[in-house]
Amino acid sequence: MTDPAAPHTDLPSATPRPGLPSAALDGAAWGAAHGQLVGLLRDLIRIPSINPPNPPGPETAAAQRIAAELRAEGLEPEIIEPVPGRGTVTVRLRGDGTGGDALLLLSHHDVVPADPTLWTHAPFAADLADGYIWGRGAVDMKAMVAMETLVVVLLARRAREAGLDPARDPIPGLRRDVLFTCSADEEAGGDAGARWLVANRPDTLRAAGALNEAGGVSMDLAGKRFYPIQVAEKGFEVYRITVHGTWGHGSMPRDDNAAVMAAEAIRRLAVPGEPRLTPVMQRLLAELAASLPPDAAAVARAVGGDDPRRGDAAMRALCDEMYARALRALIRDSISPDVVNSGFKYNVIPGVATIEIDCRTLPGTTEGDMREEVLARLGDLAPHCTVEHMIGAPPVEAPASGDLYDTMAAMIRAHDPDGIPVPVMAPFATDAKSTAHLGVPTYGFSPLRLEPGERFLERFHGTDERVGVEALRWGLPVLYDVVAAYCG
């Protein structure tokens, strides 16, 4: 057990550096803020805001819990419910208007389901054990929700301490607005969350830039500590392929058994495609190669080189499989056949089979390109297949330079002198797909300094999701400094 409010001395954030905005608060104030953060996060995990919700309700309860934290600081948050029980919470802190458009602190409070029989700690109990807070949403993404809420709380407190009304008056030191929006329904596409807000309440998302989930988390590689800042996301295109064969009697096998044809189609679709390095991945691999010791640098150079087989071999030999899997996905358009259906009785040859495939596209690959690739893979099976596009969204990219990116990188270095910020693309999609419609550059930046060996990537939607109490203690002042510096 770890006492969340205990004073803490062995990480750099314990003694805020002179010159950083966080230095305006002393160690006791940061200790109290950390305690408040841990309490809020545990409360949020205990609200089972599972999506798809059945029945609707817990998402609004999560929004209400966040709103209560903000109201206690004199703010007047708004809860928006496109569908009853599915609430998004939003609040705006005013700057003096001289610094440009707002910074958006973006998050979602819904979570995917969890099977409690597979977990060490009950997924909605928010146990505090072994230095971790355990539970569904600890990683994706209630920890960041709580951190962003606390940043807003601390800024509002600044106004109150100056005798101002944080709901109306500009916050001392802020030149641009800080907009906080924590949405429902990210885990099922955002029709009752961010996508709805884009169409109906763009004022809750419109900003010069946004900080969102997933990036900014430390990654230990060969003795070095990197902080990948997520500047891009792959797109996704989902297809349903219907394979048409011939019905028949199972006693007399046929080549055009739709199940057999589907098996061959899946084999062809599942072969990894040709690698293609986007500029962000080129830069990531070059920056990794420049900082890593020789053996590991050779892997980064091989993956970034012209010979894909050399890159694959180097990854297999030297790379942790968790990172290799991510890296393989980030240098090609990928196809994962994930749903297969055919047949209804053992002695009836099926005349039809369906396959649903999850395609993830690199920047530069359109839906049309992806469909062509799928048809090419099907080859001589294509005339027997109907390919139907189910859902999709294009890749998104934000600049890996400029004020906001540079502020994030600088604050990582200021709080972890051994930390190396690098730009990265995510293989998955977030609400950044929605903010892209409004032209808001959206970054994955939820700063956490993890224990070496913590398998963070595997905890997204996985079992035993957990976040370190000390990782949060490091992260909150980093996030605060980015917001205060960019908006100040």
Residue 109 and residue 59 in contact, taking contact as beta carbons nearer than 8 Å = yes
In the complex with Zn ion, the residue whose CB is nearer, 235 or 311, is 235
In the complex with Zn ion, the residue whose CB is nearer, 127 or 213, is 213
In the complex with Zn ion, the residue whose CB is nearer, 103 or 143, is 143
Number of helices (H) and strands (E) in the chain: give both, helices first: 13, 19
In the complex with Zn ion, the residue whose CB is nearer, 214 or 487, is 214
Among 73, 140, 454, 464, binds Zn ion (CB under 5 A): 140
From the CB of 140, what's the least distance to Zn ion, in Å?
4
Q: Is the omega angle on the peptide bond into residue 141 within 30 degrees of 0, that is, cis?
A: yes
User: Distance between CA 120 and CA 134 in Å, rounded?
Assistant: 9
Window 336-365: contact mask with Zn ion (x via CB under 5 A): ------------------------------
In the complex with Zn ion, the residue whose CB is nearer, 323 or 460, is 460
- Interacting stretch for Zn ion, rule CB under 5 A, among 139-147, 291-299, 317-325, 389-397? 139-147
User: Distance between CA 353 and CA 342 in Å, rounded?
Assistant: 4
From the CB of 435, what's the least distance to Zn ion, in Å?
14
In the complex with Zn ion, the residue whose CB is nearer, 190 or 311, is 190
From the CB of 136, what's the least distance to Zn ion, in Å?
11
From the CB of 272, what's the least distance to Zn ion, in Å?
26
Asked if 141 is part of the footprint of Zn ion (rule: CB under 5 A), the reply reads: yes
> What φ, ψ does residue 385 adopt, rounded to 5°?
-120, 145
Query: In b/e form, how buried is each residue of 196-218, taking b as 16+ CB within 10 angstroms?
Result: bbbeebeebbbbbbbbbbbbbbb
In the complex with Zn ion, the residue whose CB is nearer, 47 or 331, is 47
Question: Token pair 């605060």 is at which residue?
Answer: 480
Structure tokens given for 25 = 């608060």
- Interacting stretch for Zn ion, rule CB under 5 A, among 138-146, 147-155, 171-179, 274-282? 138-146
Query: Long-range pairs for 74-79 at CB < 8 Å and ≥24 separation?
Result: 74/156, 74/159, 74/160, 74/165, 74/166, 74/167, 75/152, 75/156, 75/166, 75/167, 76/167, 77/180
List of E strands, 166-283? 178-183, 209-212, 219-221, 224-233, 235-244, 248-249
User: Distance between CA 62 and CA 186 in Å, rounded?
Assistant: 14
Q: Of all residues in this chain, which one has the CB nearest to Zn ion in the complex?
A: 140
In the complex with Zn ion, the residue whose CB is nearer, 141 or 210, is 141
From the CB of 156, what's the least distance to Zn ion, in Å?
25
> What φ, ψ does residue 107 adopt, rounded to 5°?
-160, 175
From the CB of 360, what's the least distance to Zn ion, in Å?
16
Window 195-214: contact mask with Zn ion (x via CB under 5 A): ------------------x-
Q: How many residues bind Zn ion (CB under 5 A)?
A: 3
Binding site for Zn ion (CB under 5 A): 140-141, 213
